[in-house]
Structure 1
Amino acid sequence: MDLPEDCWELILNSLGDERRFEPVSLVSHKLLSITHNLRRNLNITQQALPQMFNLLRRFPNLKKLDFSQVTLDVDGFLCSVSEREMDLVSLNISNQKEFPITGLQELASKNKNLKELVCSKIGFLKDEDVIAIAESCPALEVLDISYPDYDCSFLPDGSQDYGSFEGFVSDAGIYAMAMKLERLQKIDITGNCFLTDKSLASITANCRLLRELVVNDCDCITEFGIGVLMSCSRNLSSVSMNGIGISPIHQFFSQHFGEARNLREIDLSHSYLSDEFLCSIAEASLKLEKFSLSHCHNYTFAGISVLLRKYQSLEYLNLEAAKFLSDESMIGVI
């Protein structure tokens, strides 16, 4: 116990998981105090909500707050949290019935270093919300606005009825947002079904530092938009999309892969691909480390063989539901 506090901090930080602080904190008051000062993450549950301000006092150096398990007046709680002196870098406000715009604005005004915002599954997310995000948090590097919940009904033919919507995230909202988020490095727009290729063009033109894009379940975004993104985003290292390529897409993509030299991870799950497309990836000489073709169609073992011979240092390959695979063919590749 005679060790200086900075030595104890090095030892405790080497544990790697803040949950391991709990048994250590029971040893002595000194270690209890040190673990309190070292804690950076706090997940607020519905049960812990009444004790939230006691927890904020208990852990004075928090950097990340997670309200995704709270569904009661998050807007008001964010306003209250903003009154405390903090230096947050990450905030998760997912699963809310509506976007807590006032609370976010108050909290962001006091935490200028906020770099990550996760607001997945927000009820009735709309343009004014994403614009407010950009205006309140201009230093954002990571943004997740995936799967907004519009609680839509269904028409007699089984299709979704969007006619009663009061608002949603559109290309215009993404354009206004991207204009203000020049530092953005990762964005997840999965499930925003009203976005088109124009949104990707806006992100490409304004977010020059973009490294990761997740754009699954966006039916109006096509291979054209993805191609433009890859041809202009020189820093792009990871792309995740699904359902791309109702028709073979190699003819369009092949001319763009050569520009995306830093691509390391590609996920094209549930897409319609061809062997020519896989060959174009092989010819591009990317820094590919991870490639997912889960539940993809049309390609054959010949295309995979060319790809694997080119990228022998590939660390991860997902061929789930590739019915053509056999022991004999895989042995041939090895």
Structure 2
Amino acid sequence: MRGHDWINSMLPDELILEIFRDLDSKSSRDACSLVCRRWLTLERLSRDTIRIGASGSPDALVNLLARRFVNVTNVYIDERLSISLPVDFGRRRSASQSALSWLRLRIVSERSESGANELDSYCLSDAGLAAVADGFTKLEKLSLIWCSNATSAGLRSVAEKCRSLKSLDLQGCYVGDQGLGAIGECCKQLEVLNLRFCEGLTDAGLVELALGCGKTLKSLGVAACAKISDLSLEAVGSYCRSLETLSLDSEFIHNKGVLAVAKGCPNLRNLNLQCINVTDEALSAVGILCASLESLALYSFQRFSDKSLCAIGKGCKKLRSLMLSDCYFLSDKGLEAVAAGCSELARLEVNGCHNIGTYGLESIGRSCMRLTELALLYCQKVGDEALSEVGKGCKYLQALHLVDCSVIGDDAICSIATGCKSLKKLHIRRCYEVGSKGIIAVGDKCKYLTDLSIRFCDRVGDEALVTIGNGCPLLRHLNVSGCHQIGDAGITAIARGCPQLTYLDVSVLQNLRDIALAEVGEGCPLLKDIVLSHCRQITDIGLAHLVRRCKLLESCHMVYCPGVTAAGVATVISSCINMKKVLIEKSKVSERTRRRAGSIISYLCVDL
């Protein structure tokens, strides 16, 4: 019956709450909350996550949110994230309404922070943490990112009132041992703890936490904490028997600490180490004692050798992910040992390990048939034969990343395309031996490709993109920045054959003209991000054709395009109501455009 509210009269609160919880975007939930007062109340009850960036009065804002959203279990506060005023495009809130809302927030700020230092009023304080503790009593996950004014007193408030806390991230917070000790004393369900850049902590705080939360703690991250040493890790090894993930970045951790964890934490599954004073002794113990290890990442190690990887290969049969970065003393022998012993390996990244070459990667191709992702960065000794073996043996490979691999060429890419037909992501940067032949093979044989990036590959031309356009209809992400042989024909083929494209980077393409941009506008209505910088033949006409149908655009980079004027910039901004970022020279933004959309405009060079 017209005019009758069937939903509110028939559906109980519980069912509407479940519907709100199933909505997958904040904007959808916000829209539903505007239907009526009942829906507004129920939507607030359904919220379980709050994200807060930098604001004029974070303490007052936390108080306000705590009163409105009483069932929140996850609070994420990141003072690196800025919050700007709403932008008025004529179809949004009026400028007067936006200004009024901002003025009200400023009044609340001034009242709540009277007498306080002006800079401090922009940082979450212990009073704000007390409001978190009082308002979100069901809290399970708390992230305080670079909240520099939070101290142990505020953390103690959270510990005493949020005893269901399971995850705590204190990255960049200058909290002390007393606060961390309070968490260990009160939060007996804590499972995840991140202490990156917590310079105020010492061994005393972490030892006390390990004593209190040892039975439940599963994940620990420590980085740039100069006063945390092996003593803390010995406590972790003694009391945290359930630890599964450990991430360490420290100059003050030695073999003794890592050995204690290896001996005391039999369930360790993920280990990330950037510790210059750890040697073969500790890593060999990990290989011997940590049979459950599934993921290992080693960064900038200069005091260990193939002996460690041999122990890993021999003892860690469940290893699925291996990341080696700037480990100068590793060679093919170590990688061969991993290949022989870790047949479950699914992800491998080798970055700047200059003694690893073709033979080591050939071993991976022959033995690790479940490999799904391979990344080779700055591997000057890896040749085509390595990827030929990967193509033959790793049928399930879905992602391949190549950066500055000067010996790898078309034959390698053809082998991958022939053998790895499930390939979804191919990223190649500055591999100058890769040309159109290899990319044509990918277009012919990899029908599930969704992400293609071939940056600064000078030998790739239009014929390659024509094949991609004809053969890869699922493509969503394309980056051909700096591929000088690509022009209108290649981009037109992509526009006509890849209607699901959402990201396009064609920067530094000197031969690209407006006609290609018009084709993109016609064929890719889902496009959200486009990079046109340094395209000298693109003009306002091409931009107008682009935005006529690409109404979902959220970002547009167009610096150093001499054919683009202030009129073109205004056209882009006025046509795309979802636009969040426009990168352009300051001289090409009119005063009217600046007033209308100043918050979304970024300038590459300002008054140089």
State the TM-score, normalizing by the size of structure 1. 0.79
The equivalent of 1:110 in structure 2 is: 186
Question: Taking structure 1 as reference, are residues 243 and 32 closer, same or farther at Cα in structure 2, changes over 3 Å only?
Answer: same
Task: Output the CA distance in 2 between the equivalents of 1:202 and 1:5.
Answer: 56
Question: Taking structure 1 as reference, are residues 255 and 113 closer, same or farther at Cα in structure 2, changes over 3 Å only?
Answer: same
Out of 349, 363, 367, the position equivalent to 1:267 is 349
Read off the aligned partner of 1:213 and give its amino acid letter. L
SS in 2 for 1:103: helix
The equivalent of 2:430 in structure 1 is: none
The equivalent of 2:574 in structure 1 is: none
Verify: 1:14 aligned to 2:22, yes or no. Answer: yes
Question: Taking structure 1 as reference, are residues 181 and 80 closer, same or farther at Cα in structure 2, changes over 3 Å only?
Answer: farther
Verify: 1:29 aligned to 2:41, yes or no. Answer: yes
Could you tell me how far 1:180 is from its partner in structure 2? Answer: 3.9
Indicate conservation of the 8 Å contact 1:121/1:149, yes or no: no
Task: Output the CA distance in 2 between the equivalents of 1:125 and 1:16.
Answer: 38
Indicate conservation of the 8 Å contact 2:324/2:350, yes or no: yes
SS in 2 for 1:292: strand
Task: Output the CA distance in 2 between the equivalents of 1:75 and 1:178.
Answer: 31
The equivalent of 1:244 in structure 2 is: 327
Mean CA deviation greater in 196-205 or 290-299: 196-205
Verify: 1:52 aligned to 2:129, yes or no. Answer: yes
Out of 247, 269, 272, the position equivalent to 1:185 is 269
Flag structure 1 segments of 5+ consecutive residues without an equivalent.
151-166
- What is the number of equivalent residue pairs in this alignment? 315
Could you tell me how far 1:254 is from its partner in structure 2? Answer: 1.5
Could you tell me how far 1:282 is from its partner in structure 2? Answer: 1.2
SS in 1 for 2:377: coil
Indicate conservation of the 8 Å contact 1:89/1:116, yes or no: yes
Verify: 1:144 aligned to 2:221, yes or no. Answer: yes
Question: Taking structure 1 as reference, are residues 7 and 266 closer, same or farther at Cα in structure 2, changes over 3 Å only?
Answer: farther
Could you tell me how far 1:208 is from its partner in structure 2? Answer: 4.0
Aligned pairs (5 A) from 1:1-334: 1=8, 3-16=11-24, 27-35=39-47, 36=69, 39-45=72-78, 47-49=123-125, 50-96=127-173, 100-123=176-199, 134-138=210-214, 139-148=216-225, 168-190=252-274, 192-246=275-329, 249-272=331-354, 273-324=356-407, 325=409, 326-327=434-435, 328-329=437-438, 331=440
Indicate conservation of the 8 Å contact 2:124/2:150, yes or no: no
Could you tell me how far 1:110 is from its partner in structure 2? Answer: 2.6
In terms of fraction of residues, the more helix-rich structure is: 2
SS in 2 for 1:236: coil
Flag structure 2 segments of 5+ consecutive residues without an equivalent.
1-7, 48-68, 80-122, 228-250, 410-433, 446-608
Could you tell me how far 1:22 is from its partner in structure 2? Answer: 5.5
| Deviations 1:176-235, CA, capped at 9 Å, x for gaps | 344443443323323x22222333234445544332222212333433323322431233
Identify which of structures 1 and 2 has the higher relative contact order when contacts are C-alpha pairs closer than 8 Å and 6+ apart: 1
The equivalent of 1:154 in structure 2 is: none
SS in 2 for 1:187: strand
Read off the aligned partner of 1:41 and give its amino acid letter. N
Could you tell me how far 1:68 is from its partner in structure 2? Answer: 2.4
Task: Output the CA distance in 2 between the equivalents of 1:202 and 1:109.
Answer: 32
Indicate conservation of the 8 Å contact 1:140/1:184, yes or no: no
Question: Taking structure 1 as reference, are residues 180 and 94 closer, same or farther at Cα in structure 2, changes over 3 Å only?
Answer: farther
Could you tell me how far 1:144 is from its partner in structure 2? Answer: 2.2
Could you tell me how far 1:277 is from its partner in structure 2? Answer: 0.6
The equivalent of 2:472 in structure 1 is: none
Question: Taking structure 1 as reference, are residues 224 and 81 closer, same or farther at Cα in structure 2, changes over 3 Å only?
Answer: same
Could you tell me how far 1:34 is from its partner in structure 2? Answer: 2.8
Indicate conservation of the 8 Å contact 1:140/1:183, yes or no: no
Indicate conservation of the 8 Å contact 2:166/2:192, yes or no: yes
Could you tell me how far 1:21 is from its partner in structure 2? Answer: 5.3
Indicate conservation of the 8 Å contact 1:271/1:297, yes or no: no
SS in 2 for 1:88: coil
Could you tell me how far 1:118 is from its partner in structure 2? Answer: 1.7
| Deviations 1:129-174, CA, capped at 9 Å, x for gaps | 7655644443333332245568xxxxxxxxxxxxxxxx82222122
Question: Taking structure 1 as reference, are residues 103 and 129 closer, same or farther at Cα in structure 2, changes over 3 Å only?
Answer: closer
SS in 2 for 1:145: strand
Question: Taking structure 1 as reference, are residues 254 and 187 closer, same or farther at Cα in structure 2, changes over 3 Å only?
Answer: closer
Could you tell me how far 1:106 is from its partner in structure 2? Answer: 2.1
Indicate conservation of the 8 Å contact 1:126/1:168, yes or no: no
Mean CA deviation greater in 14-23 or 213-222: 14-23
Mean CA deviation greater in 1-10 or 264-273: 1-10
SS in 2 for 1:82: helix
Read off the aligned partner of 1:67 and give its amino acid letter. L
Question: Taking structure 1 as reference, are residues 120 and 187 closer, same or farther at Cα in structure 2, changes over 3 Å only?
Answer: farther
Could you tell me how far 1:242 is from its partner in structure 2? Answer: 0.4
SS in 2 for 1:114: coil
Question: Taking structure 1 as reference, are residues 187 and 88 closer, same or farther at Cα in structure 2, changes over 3 Å only?
Answer: farther
- Structure possessing the higher radius of gyration over alpha carbons: 2
Could you tell me how far 1:92 is from its partner in structure 2? Answer: 1.0
